[in-house]
Structure 1
């Protein structure tokens, strides 16, 4: 039986540069947000596996012996070439009482957990009776990698519980991380969880949640940046719903209609991503005012490009106007057409200016978080290192 209580977390993600251009073979930079998903793992002495995600209204438990009876058909191909099969997912839906086309967050979270539990235990040995609680600072459906952070937390927790990876947190330490080899295993299983939720994910979101910092993504190849300073940002959700599929199709249509006009714009977005990568990797831990000026210029140029290719939105224009009135620079992040935007905060940005900007943005009906980019990836925590809000959400005394 698993005898320890553990808390671990994984970050969300934002796209810094390269949105949409990445679909056409260009470079994109993805960064880890210091808005995190937390998982508390405890032993369960009742012969059950219990999972609770209060944020999406999920509370389920299953008899461990019943689950183990299912696992014969749940081996997974760890080289990433074999996705969860339709038959496997249909079996899990029937077992959990989930309708065939159900796509609510709690349904997908349940399927991802069941698949990962069965496949990991089939590959690495029995996962003991467990009680898991997951709580997140990330909104769902906002393009901020909430499902990947969940999958990474699940992978790390289940692999630790069955002994496939170590438990690196030593007495007296506030945080600890796994070895590179162990992180690779966590990431591999998290990608399988993302496949359950999204079907054909790129792998970027779970890689960011695993390793943190910043990653370069191009044509299926993921490469971590050598080093990235922690940069403060204001993250704003316009709450305007959008369809990534429709927006991607719209960019493709424009590219086919006006190739001589659109291709140079995509090339320029690619150049912005590469320029930003060079700038970030050359920055000291405490960037200079000149460094921030360059980052702000790249934000401004890229935001104009994204509007040109057709993924802007009046809500995003308003976001940029509001923050500009307070001397700040913003751009959309993700698919565009609404969704989220990021605003760079210099170290000398006054508290008064930031609070005034947040007040004006909230007056537009937007939701704001002050956070940072370049955050660490999946991490083990001692209870003493977590704030009261996180402990309360996880049911820690």
Structure 2
């Protein structure tokens, strides 16, 4: 099988509204975050398969003859599976020396890669290749970094195996797959997420696959066809997240649900009619309401209060995103917000000991790139290995 060189990327994710309330049957809105994970697949003739993950200082190579011995005799090539192949997972864990007490980031990333690689090529000769993956996303911050990684793996290896075609034409800089191919990418990315997280919701890999905004309710994930691109500040308080969630009163959950639904309505209006200041006024009000509710739920943190206070002094509105108890927050930027205000706010947040990025939400999901469309600094990293 001829494997060709190519580049893919997938976005991270943020929860716009509905975190925590979603586990009680309320609507949550998840959005793509324009901090992306990039993957380069390079065909080689070394009779080895290698993976380079510079974000976590991981550089590993295996002889194809070693990996071929891990393929169970009963293996048939399957392009989509709903459940993990327990036999293959077990063999890979033994091969990597992974035990229940040794499930660190490096092991999980490696296990996920080898599982998808062997699963997709198992009925043919394992190809010699090198994968390099580099991310703009911080790990462990609740921003979907593992899902973006899994989506990139799935897209690249499905293309390399011939299960889906390359969508990139000679004259394109970037291209996206058709709906059927995206569904296949998403199903394999979910396999990777199951290896990394055990029992994921599927929201993170769906955002990485489709991008834009997704509505999540009672286990159903519905991509919304059109959403506006919104500028934000993303702030990582660097306080470890906590998913502890105490019992709360039903009216608070109902109000969070109303916030999510109102936000969805406003964003939909913004794609159908000229964007007005009233739209942003409503979005800011919803952010403030939801942040107050999250504090009532007990998932706030003094660091997040500091974020909200610092940005509000500049006329900007913020809320936590994700688990809370620390972690990350998002700050909405209006179109008319002056660059000097943004620059000063970012510096104020950095002075608090936080990491801060100006980025956007609502951008595209997984894409294939020509080298010309990959950021120069990213290309330098990917081509270094």
TM-score, L = length of structure 1: 0.93
Could you say if the C-alpha distance between residues 304 and 196 of structure 1 is closer, same or farther in structure 2, counting changes exceeding 3 Å? same
Matches within 5 A, 1:156-195: 156-195=155-194
1:53 matched to 2:15? The reply is no
1:273 matched to which residue of 2?
260
Contact 1:40 1:134 in 2 (8 A): yes
8 Å Cα contact 1:51/1:61 also seen in 2: yes
Aligned to 1:319: 307
Tell me, what secondary structure is at the counterpart of 1:303? helix
Aligned length: 383
Deviations 1:334-362 (A, max 9, x none): 00000000000011111111111111100
Query: Which has the larger displacement, 278-287 or 199-208?
Result: 278-287
Contact map agreement 1:93 1:100 (CA 8 A) in 2: no
CA distance in 2, matches of 1:233, 1:331: 11
Q: How does 1:291-330 map to 2 (within 5 A)?
A: 291-330=279-318
Q: CA deviation at 1:75?
A: 6.4
Provide the C-alpha distance between the structure 2 equivalents of 1:146 and 1:8, rounded to a whole number of angstroms: 15
Cα contact 2:236–2:355 (8 A) shared by 1: yes
Change (3 A) 1:77 1:268: farther
Unaligned runs of 5+ in 1: 256-261
Please state how far the C-alpha of 1:164 moved relative to its aligned partner. 0.3
Q: CA deviation at 1:89?
A: 2.8
The equivalent of 1:364 in structure 2 is: 352
The CA deviation at 1:172 is: 2.0
Q: CA contact under 8 A between 1:55 and 1:136: conserved in structure 2?
A: yes
CA gap of 1:295–1:101, structure 2 versus 1, over 3 A, is same
Which of 337, 343, 349 is matched with 2:337 structurally?
349
Instruction: Map Cα deviations across residues 160-200 of structure 1 (whole Å, 9 max, x no partner).
Output: 00100001111121001111100000000000000000000
Secondary structure of the structure 2 residue equivalent to 1:394: helix
Task: Kindly indicate whether the alpha-carbon contact (under 8 Å) linking 1:74 and 1:118 is maintained by their aligned counterparts in 2.
Answer: no
What's the counterpart of residue 98 of structure 1? 98
Cα gap change, 1:268/1:74 in structure 2, threshold over 3 Å: closer, same or farther? Answer: farther
Matched, 1:112 2:125: no
Displacement of 1:78? 6.8
Please name the residue that 2:205 is paired with: 206
Aligned twin of 2:135 = 136
Shift of 1:145: 0.2
* Structure 2 length-normalised TM: 0.95
The aligned residue for residue 64 of structure 2 is 64
- Cα distance change of structure 1 residues 80 and 329 upon mapping to structure 2, 3 Å threshold: farther
CA distance in 1, matches of 2:82, 2:225: 28
The secondary structure found in structure 1 opposite 2:271 is coil
CA, structure 1 residues 215+74, in 2 after alignment: closer, same or farther (shift >3 Å)?
Answer: farther
CA distance in 1: counterparts of 2:359 and 2:237, whole angstroms: 16
1:43/1:78 Cα in 2 relative to 1: closer, same or farther (>3 Å)?
closer
Residue aligning to 2:196: 197
Matched residues in 1 for 2:252 and 2:80: separation?
A: 36
Aligned to 2:250: 263
Question: Could you tell me how far apart the structure 2 residues matched to 1:271 and 1:210 are?
Answer: 27
Whether the 8 Å CA contact 2:78–2:120 is kept in 1: the answer is no
- The separation in 2 between residues aligned to 1:278 and 1:302, in whole angstroms, is 16
Q: Cα distance 1:12–1:127, how it changes in 2: closer, same or farther (>3 A)? A: farther
- Deviation at residue 80 of structure 1 after TM alignment: 5.6
d(CA) in 2 for partners of 1:202, 1:80: 17
TM-superposed CA distance for 1:88, in Å, is 3.5
Query: What's 2:271 paired with?
Result: 284
CA distance in 2, matches of 1:47, 1:377: 33
Deviation at 1:278, TM superposition (A): 1.1
Out of 333, 337, 352, the residue aligned to residue 321 of structure 2 is 333
What is the Cα deviation at residue 117 of structure 1?
Answer: 1.2
Instruction: Assess, with a 3 A threshold, how the Cα gap between structure 1 residues 96 and 201 changes in structure 2: closer, same or farther.
Output: same
Shift of 1:375: 1.0
Q: Which runs of 5+ in 2 are unaligned?
A: none
Note the alpha carbon deviations across 1:197-237, whole angstroms, 9 max, x for none: 00000000000000000000011100011310110000000
Give the drift of 1:90.
3.1
